[in-house]
């Protein structure tokens, strides 16, 4: 059963993502999913919070909870969106991130030629930590543990 769900869940994920691209409210979302042949069952508590969402695809013979489709399809994501949050299925920040990454890459490609040659530090330091000192402290702790074990016998 799990393997069948795994194989056919991609179609449900794509359908959900396509419908969510139009930024529908809860009722429109359910109607548009029904048009695609997928029934959507939402579970809402007394306070109005959506705490469960199930997608039923009769054509493929699948009934799956949103959380089984992935973290991004869980009830909490839909609850946050239907409560007035940002649409997680529309990636508005992507072009900005792409531009920022391009600027960083451009900087990095220019830097090696602009930097003066420096002497290489061959000491055993990684990010400010002296590896010899850390090894010494570890040995002391281990010796103390051995002494405690011997005393308790």
pLDDT under 50: residue ranges of the chain? 93-96, 105, 108-109, 111-113, 117
Question: How do the domains of the chain map onto residue ranges?
Answer: 2-82, 123-153
Residues in CB range of 96: below 8 A, 6 or more apart: none
Q: What is the pLDDT of residue 136?
A: 87
pLDDT of 95: 45
What pLDDT shows up at residue 11?
86
Spatial distance between the Cα atoms of 51 and 39, rounded to a whole number of angstroms: 17
Contact 26, 42 (CB under 8 A): yes
Beta strands 50-57 and 62-65: pairing type?
A: antiparallel
Strand ranges (E), 1-153: 38-44, 50-57, 62-65, 125-126, 129-130
What is the pLDDT at residue 126? 52
The pLDDT value given to residue 93: 46
Q: Select from 139, 119, 13, 132 the least CA-distant residue to 68.
A: 13
pLDDT of residue 100: 56
Distance of alpha carbon 131 from alpha carbon 7, whole angstroms: 49
Q: Find where tokens 């429109």 sit.
A: 28
Burial 105-136 (b: 16+ CB within 10 A, else e): eeeeeeeeeeeeeeeeeeeeeeeeeeeeeeee
pLDDT of residue 94: 42
What are the pLDDT digits (tens) for 57-84?
888 888 999 988 888 889 998 888 888 8
Task: Give the pLDDT of residue 46.
Answer: 93
DSSP symbol at 22: T
């Amino acid at each position: 059963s799990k393997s069948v769900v795994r194989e056919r869940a991609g179609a449900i994920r794509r359908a959900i993502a396509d419908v969510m691209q139009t930024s529908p409210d809860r009722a429109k979302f359910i109607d548009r999913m029904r048009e695609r042949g997928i029934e959507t069952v939402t579970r809402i508590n007394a306070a109005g919070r959506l705490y469960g969402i199930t997608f039923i695809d009769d054509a493929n013979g699948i009934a799956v909870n949103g959380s089984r489709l992935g973290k991004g399809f869980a009830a909490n994501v839909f609850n946050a969106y239907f409560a007035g949050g940002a649409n997680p299925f529309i990636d508005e920040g992507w072009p900005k991130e792409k531009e920022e990454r391009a600027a960083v890459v451009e900087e990095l490609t220019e830097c090696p030629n602009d930097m003066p040659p420096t002497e290489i530090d061959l000491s055993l330091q990684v990010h400010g930590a002296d590896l010899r000192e850390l090894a010494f402290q570890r040995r002391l702790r281990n010796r103390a543990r051995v002494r405690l074990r011997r005393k308790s016998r």
